[in-house]
Amino acid sequence: ENSIAEFYAGKNIFITGGTGFLGTVLIEALLSSTPKIGTIYLLIREKYGSDTNKPVERLLSKPIFNSHSAETLKKVVPVVGVMDAVNMGFDDETLNELREKVNIIFHVAATIKFNTHLRVAIQTNLTGTLRCIEFGKSLKKMDAFVHLSTAFCNSNYAGLLEEKVYAPAQDPYEMLKMAENDDAWANFKTRADWLHITKEHPNTYTFTKQLAENLIMKELAGFPAAIVRPSIVYGTYKHPVQGWVGNASSGHLGFFAGYYKGLFRTIYGNSQSKIDLIPVDYTINASIVL
């Protein structure tokens, strides 16, 4: 633990997806476990306009940050950008500052909806990853690039899956080109229209996350990069508080909330099925150590 705190001392961090569930716990864990950390730059979408502090204030008002002083929370600084844009949409002043100061990147942002239109999923999960990689390569000194993936990114393969990056269902560079071509999407409206592209993948989420892993392998060869593959991320096990789930309406937590309140009495399912869960603090601890 001491060696990790020493590694992060004085380092500046850049996080995409920091206002989401994983990102929120990541920020809190960095502030807790690495007290001498520098600035945590948080990518904020352009839609907030000039009021960039609003989403950060909302983020830091969550109960898991209650133990932190106002001085500590000032380390979290918003930067406005567009994840899938060239240079992530930063203005020149912001871009120069980040290139000079950032040492570690946590790329957490992704669309995790299974029914996202294929083009949108590619633009977010693949083009967004490419832009983040390009930004990382332009840093004066990059000590680590940590990419949050999923244990299910290779669900198009049957049998035992090893801890390696598998060949993708499609070439990621061809998919990047396709996403930029309006004409290529004229006849793509429903899931059935893109099954010949996603092949055995059950949805556009696992398909694009697999592509992103392959992009990381190709573009960041020789760089200090890592991929984290959590399964279904659940609430906290212990840190910073026990059982914190963030937005209790997300995923099947919404069903559990309804069940607990007595709104739902039955569910259709298979009693022999197993669900692969991992506490969010386990996922974040692994990411920080990596």
Average pLDDT over residues 165-184: 95
* pLDDT at residue 226 greater than cutoff 60: yes
Tell me: pLDDT of 129 over 70.
yes
DSSP state of 167: P
pLDDT at 179 over 60: yes
Displacement of CA 273 from its chain's centroid (Å): 27
What does the domain layout of the chain look like in residue ranges? 2-247+276-289
Q: What is the pTM of this model?
A: 0.93
Tokens 């352009």 sit on residue: 46
CA 28 distance to own-chain centroid: 15
Confidence of residue 207 (pLDDT cuts 50, 70, 90): very high
What pLDDT band is residue 251 in, cutting at 50, 70 and 90?
Answer: low
**pLDDT exceeds 60 at position 50:** no
Omega cis (within 30) before 240: yes
pLDDT score of 49? 55
Q: Are 123 and 175 in contact (CB under 8 A)?
A: no
pLDDT score of 269: 84
Q: Is the CATH code 3.40.50.720 the one for domain 2-247+276-289?
A: yes
Note whether 101 and 39 are within 8 A (CB): yes
Tokens representing residue 250 in the block: 């997300």
